[in-house]
Amino acid sequence: MKKQRRSRRRGVWGERLARGWLRLSGFRVVATNWHCRVGELDIVALSPKTLLFAEVKTRVRRGEQSPAEAVTFAKRARIIGSADAFVHRYPALAHGRCLEFSIVEVVMRPFPRIRHLRDAFRPEECVRKY
């Protein structure tokens, strides 16, 4: 139970840092932890030309696997499905803007580091080819 609580606190802390980073980068955060039946969007942000859907991955320290590698094919598909639901719910926010799917990596030690991977994936990459 304590491990789950600690992990959740770490995630909340990472999302807070990511929101600040996006604001400093010129985005306006319009939603956080937005839920629908498909899944959840960590951060939804706007710039004049972009509607950004950001997945935040927070780690204590950099290991062999980068935080972005934890965003699997299935997770990307859920993010895209959730973004579709968001755009259907709030079409005015998407009007005239490009949609962008990003990953924000937050690594806590030895000091907090943020890496914003712009256009980390695209919807067409998340379609299974048989």
What percentage of residues in the chain have a pLDDT greater than 70? Answer: 89
Q: Which helix (H) or strand (E) holds 43?
A: strand 40-46
Note whether residue 130 is domain-resident. no
- For the chain, how many structural domains are there in total? 1
Count other C-beta atoms under 10 Å from residue 6's C-beta: 11
Note whether residue 84 is domain-resident. yes
Q: What is the CATH number of the domain that holds 56?
A: 3.40.1350.10
CA dihedral angle for residue 78, residue 39, residue 12, residue 71, rounded to 10 degrees: -10
pLDDT over 90 (residue 61): no
pLDDT band at residue 55, thresholds of 50, 70 and 90? very high
Note whether residue 114 is domain-resident. yes
Q: Which domain holds residue 94?
A: 2-124
pLDDT over 90 (residue 28): yes
Note whether residue 129 is domain-resident. no
Note whether residue 78 is domain-resident. yes
The pLDDT assigned to 126 comes to 56
